[in-house]
């Protein structure tokens, strides 16, 4: 017997589709870490706003590439976004 539309809707709300989960877990192509703080803030804010789940800092780091100790500045960028109300901590991750 086929499931009713209400049952199908309930099932759809219980768990996200596999393609949504895969997209959330798969990082986009790494972009160069930008040189100025405003550009860094914009880039990280975009990543957080596009994410459908809270991202741990390591998941944000893999979205960037660069030379030198650029990863040391990422916590400052995240704190800046939080102070501006553009990001919030959610468990061990960050959400835009």
List pLDDT tens digits, range 41-67: 999 999 999 999 999 999 999 999 988
Q: Specify the pTM.
A: 0.70
Domains of the chain and any CATH numbers: 28-95 (1.10.10)
User: CB-based burial of residue 8 (10 Å sphere; 0-12 exposed, 13-18 middle, 19+ buried)?
Assistant: exposed
pLDDT in tens, 4-18: 544 444 444 444 444
Reported as half-sphere exposure (CB side, CA atoms, 13 A), residue 16 has a value of: 10
Residue 96: name the closest of 52, 58, 65 by CA.
52
């Amino acid at each position: 017997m086929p499931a009713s539309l209400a049952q199908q809707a309930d099932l759809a709300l219980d768990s996200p589709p596999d393609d949504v989960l895969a997209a959330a877990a798969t990082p986009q192509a790494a972009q160069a870490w930008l040189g100025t703080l405003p550009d860094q803030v914009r880039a990280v804010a975009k990543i957080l706003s596009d994410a459908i789940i809270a991202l741990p800092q390591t998941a944000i780091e893999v979205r960037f590439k660069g030379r030198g100790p650029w990863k040391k500045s990422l916590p400052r960028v995240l704190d800046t976004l939080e102070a501006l109300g553009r990001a919030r901590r959610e468990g061990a991750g960050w959400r835009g």
